[in-house]
Structure 1
Amino acid sequence: MGERVTLITGASAGIGSELARVFAANGHRLALTARREDRLAALAQEIAAKGSPAPLVIPCDLTSPDAGAAIEAALSAAGVELEYLVNNAGFGLFGKAVQLDRTEQLDMIAVNVRALTELSLRFSDQLIRNKGGILNLGSVAGFLPGPGMAVYYASKAYVISFTEALRKELAPHGVRVTVLCPGPVPSEFQARAGFKPGVDSVILNVPPKAVAEAGYRGLMADKRVVLPGLGIKIVPFMLRWFPRGFILDAVGRLQLRRN
């Protein structure tokens, strides 16, 4: 058995980099992956400078079908194996699905759904052996239909469903599986998605650091779902009281205001 590490995807910015800082501060050795090697290297240097073990840096594009194999090979070459997996990487695109670039939307599915699923399954044996855990980045969007961001909302619905089912299957093996579902978070995500923050961002806003801290605590406490911030906690409860058609229209109107 090699040294145990925590793998964090999408660690170069936003919630991902804050998750890296939180896990490192709590004594975890990290393996960081994202496309931007320069940002990963800077984050690794920052973490090491604070006295934590130097993280492994694994530059990787998760839209590639070979990403999982490349990450596994890098970890094996370093003589480490996973104790915790943090599937943070993901992105969204704003606009009508039939008008957005099809390739970009399929890349979104590749990152938000396929890569998250593959890494969870690829490393399941190590997570079971080390009695570790998985933290998946969902979204409050996963509880809703999302006209204006149809593929993104659908991808996060998958993340929630998959996480809950995997949690049930891995619980007998001592593996914790948690889904972290923030609302709008001030980060590069919004610029990448192509929309301006609206009133929902003001009401539901929780800083990336607070989201990361809530996610870490939730995973360690073996929570099924983590909803950071009071406003976010209310959303799933409120959805029970309104017809699906009403929610669909309301989300559609909200998205139109982002233009």
Structure 2
Amino acid sequence: MQRQNYRAQTVIITGASSGIGASFAQALAARGANLILVARRFDRLQQLAGELEQRYQITATAIALDLTSPHVGVELKKAVVDAGLEATSLINNAGFGTFGEFVDEDPARLSQEIAVDVVAPVQLSSAFLPDIIAARGFLINVASMAAYTPTPRMAVYGATKAFVLSFTESLWAELRGTGVTVFALSPGATSTEFNAVVGTDDATAGARMRTPADVVATALSHLESRNPGPSVIDGRSNRVAASLGRLAPRRTIVTMMHRLTDPARRAGANA
């Protein structure tokens, strides 16, 4: 049963130019929601906005924004107000990862990763929650399966997603009774540009890929459920893995993950 009145919604989606963000845009537009699409690649946003407006007779506004900005919440709120819009819901989807031994990583790149994956969701949630509460809308923060285990060679990415999961579940508890739906969405390996940005397929350790449409279907099914919980994991095998991870000793889990993310393991398997 569809509980959401999507036609009353104006939804901000970050990272909307491709992958899961673009799939969210397609699915929500098909349900009648108006959209505010946010990413750096303005041309792609404009093209997507135009296609969705023509196909679904909704309003889609493209806003180009660098999510590494230290004042990203204030900047996006101003851009939305200047456009004469009022957001009712927010999907913090934008994010990226880095792969490699931590000692070899570029500190500047790691700072950008933390800015996009942690600081931006916090600032945007803070900036728009009053409007979301007033509209009884929804807030979805995209975490990852990496939130559930230590992730050697992606130490910072895993830590950022663990933060997003904990942060969002705490908001779920704080906002109960307000009429706002809040939850963290945790995809596993998904066929997006994630590996291309990271620079290697080792980032997903050869896992079987889900599609962005699969992930969005999981999220919207959870959103439309009678009593949505604080988090949802996409894919049955991912849900099983997360459950097993809670049972095993931390030493066992991190050792296993270190083996799984070893490029030499995949090179040997592909030889």
Q: So what's the TM-score if we normalise by structure 1?
A: 0.94
> Structure 1 residue 52: deviation in Å?
2.9
Letter of the structure 1 residue corresponding to residue 193 of structure 2: E
CA distance in 1, matches of 2:175, 2:84: 25
Alignment of 1:248 with 2:254, yes or no, is: yes
Alignment of 1:187 with 2:183, yes or no, is: no
- Of residues 227, 238, 257 in structure 2, which corresponds to 1:232? 238
Identity of aligned residues (%): 38
Q: So what's the TM-score if we normalise by structure 2?
A: 0.90
Letter of the structure 1 residue corresponding to residue 252 of structure 2: F
Matched-pair contact (CA < 8 Å) for 1:135–1:178: yes
Structure 2 unaligned spans of 5+: 1-7
Alignment of 1:77 with 2:82, yes or no, is: yes
Change in Cα spacing, 1:199 to 1:171, as seen in structure 2 (3 Å) is closer
Alignment of 1:91 with 2:130, yes or no, is: no
RMSD: 1.6
CA distance in 2, matches of 1:229, 1:13: 20
Paired residue for 1:21? 26
Alignment of 1:163 with 2:164, yes or no, is: no
CA distance in 2, matches of 1:133, 1:42: 26
Alignment of 1:55 with 2:48, yes or no, is: no
Change in Cα spacing, 1:143 to 1:227, as seen in structure 2 (3 Å) is same
Change in Cα spacing, 1:8 to 1:159, as seen in structure 2 (3 Å) is same
Which 10-residue stretch deviates more, 20-29 or 149-158?
A: 20-29
Report runs of 4+ in structure 1 exceeding 6 Å deviation. Answer: none
> Structure 1 residue 188: deviation in Å?
0.6
> Structure 1 residue 200: deviation in Å?
5.1
CA distance in 1, matches of 2:15, 2:52: 16
Letter of the structure 2 residue corresponding to residue 114 of structure 1: V
Paired residue for 2:215? 211
Which 10-residue stretch deviates more, 43-52 or 135-144?
A: 43-52
Give the total of aligned pairs: 256
CA distance in 1, matches of 2:81, 2:179: 23
Alignment of 1:126 with 2:147, yes or no, is: no
Paired residue for 1:31? 36
Deviations along 1:76-108, whole A, 9 cap, x unmatched?
122221211000000000101221110111100
Paired residue for 2:5? none
Matched-pair contact (CA < 8 Å) for 1:4–1:80: no
